[in-house]
Amino acid sequence: MAQSERTLYQFPISHFCEKTRWNLDAKGLRYDIQNLVPGPHRRVIKRLAKDSRGSVPLLVDNGVVLADSTDIALHLERAHPSTPSLIPASGPERERVLELEAYYDEAAGKHVRRWMYAKLFEGGADLRRLMFGAFPAPVRLLGGLLIPVVKALIRRQYNLVPPKVEESRVKMMEGLDRLEREIQGDPSRYLVGSSLSIADITAAALYGPLVAAEGSPYAAQPGEAVPQEIAELRAAVLARPAGQWLLRRYQEDRQRVARGFGARPDAAHGSAT
C-alpha cells in the first residue's frame, strides 16, 4: 500500500484530532495516521516540531509540519485550493467563519474536554477502551496498566476541581446557546452561508464527545454504561435545536465524506508510535 504524502499524528479519542480528520476528509485529501500513546507522544511531537508544546494533532504535509488544528486548516486552504473550500477566500464570510472557528475552539474545546473527563472519572467509565481501544493489543495492555498515571496527569493538566468543572459546563451551554442563535433555531442551516465550513466542523467535532453521534469516535458501544450526569446532559442537549444540529452535521456531512471522496482506505489506522 503506497504511503500518503501527508501523515497525521494524533490521539484517536482527541476531539481536536477529530476536527482535523474531518477537515482532511472534507477536503478529499488522503493521509496516513500515526496513533500516539499519551505521555510518550511528546517526544515524537517535539522531534517533529521543535517549537511545539508537544500537543496533537500534528500534520506533516509534503514536508510542512503544522502543530495546531487552526494552523492546519489555514494551511490546507492555501496548499490545496483545488479541493472543496472550507474557508472563504476573502470578505465578511471569511471573517465570520474564522471568528466562529476560534470561538468554538475555546467554548467547546477545553470546556467539553474538562467536563467530560471529570464526569467519566466520577462515573467509573472504562477508560481503557476509551483511550486505548484503537491501538494494537500490546499497547492496549500497556495502556490498561498506565490508566492510574494517565488519570493523575489529566486531573492536573485540566484542573479537574469542582468550580472549574462547573465553569466548563456553563461555557459549554453558552456555546450551544450561541449556536442556536447563529442557525436561528434551524438544525438544517450551516453556521455561515449555504455550505459546510471549518466553523461547522469545529463546533460539531468539538462537541462530539458530549452528543456521541453515530459515526463519531464517541458513539456508545452496545452494553456500554454511560455515567448518569453525562447521560442526563446529553439527553437535554439532544432535545434542543443545537443538539439536533450536531447530529445532522455528523449524519449529513461527516458520514458523507467518510463514504465518498474523503474516505481513507490507505490510511494506517491503529498504528502506534
pLDDT at 175 over 70: yes
Question: 57 preceded by cis ω (within 30°)?
Answer: yes
Sign of the torsion formed by the C-alpha atoms of 17, 18, 19 and 24: positive
Is residue 41 very low, low, confident or very high in pLDDT (cuts 50, 70, 90)?
confident
pLDDT at 36 over 80: yes
Report which of residues 46 and 61 the model is more confident about.
61
- Burial track 183-219 (b if 16+ CB lie within 10 A, e otherwise): beeebebbbbeeebbbbbbbbbbbbbbbbbbeebbbe
Residue 6 DSSP code: E
Distance in angstroms (rounded) separating the CA atoms of residues 88 and 97: 8
Q: What pLDDT is recorded for position 130?
A: 85
Is 199:105 a contact under the CB 8 Å cutoff? no
pLDDT in tens, 70-95: 999 999 999 999 999 999 999 999 99
Q: What pLDDT is recorded for position 43?
A: 84
Per-position DSSP letters for 9-70, written without gaps between them:
EE-TT-HHHHHHHHHHHHTT---EEEE--TTTHHHHHHHH-TTS-S-S-EEEETTEEE-SHH
pLDDT at 51 over 50: yes
Q: Specify the amino acid at residue 260.
A: G
Q: What pLDDT is recorded for position 2?
A: 52
Report the candidate in 68, 74, 64 with the shortest Cα–Cα distance to residue 54: 68
Q: What pLDDT is recorded for position 128?
A: 86
pLDDT in tens, 215-252: 899 998 888 889 999 999 999 999 999 999 999 999 99
pLDDT at 159 over 50: yes
Q: What pLDDT is recorded for position 264?
A: 43
Is residue 261 very low, low, confident or very high in pLDDT (cuts 50, 70, 90)?
very low
Task: For residues 197-206, give the mean pLDDT.
Answer: 98
Domains of the chain: 6-79 (3.40.30.10), 91-124+158-259 (1.20.1050)
Q: Please provide the average confidence, as pLDDT, over all residues in the chain.
A: 90
* 254: helix, strand or coil: helix
Q: What pLDDT is recorded for position 24?
A: 97
Distance in angstroms (rounded) separating the CA atoms of residues 231 and 211: 9
- The label of the residue with cell 458530549 reads 210
User: What is the value of pTM for the model shown?
Assistant: 0.91
Distance in angstroms (rounded) separating the CA atoms of residues 30 and 260: 12
Task: For residues 36-55, give the mean pLDDT.
Answer: 81
pLDDT at 260 over 80: no
Q: What pLDDT is recorded for position 207?
A: 98
Q: Specify the amino acid at residue 84.
A: P
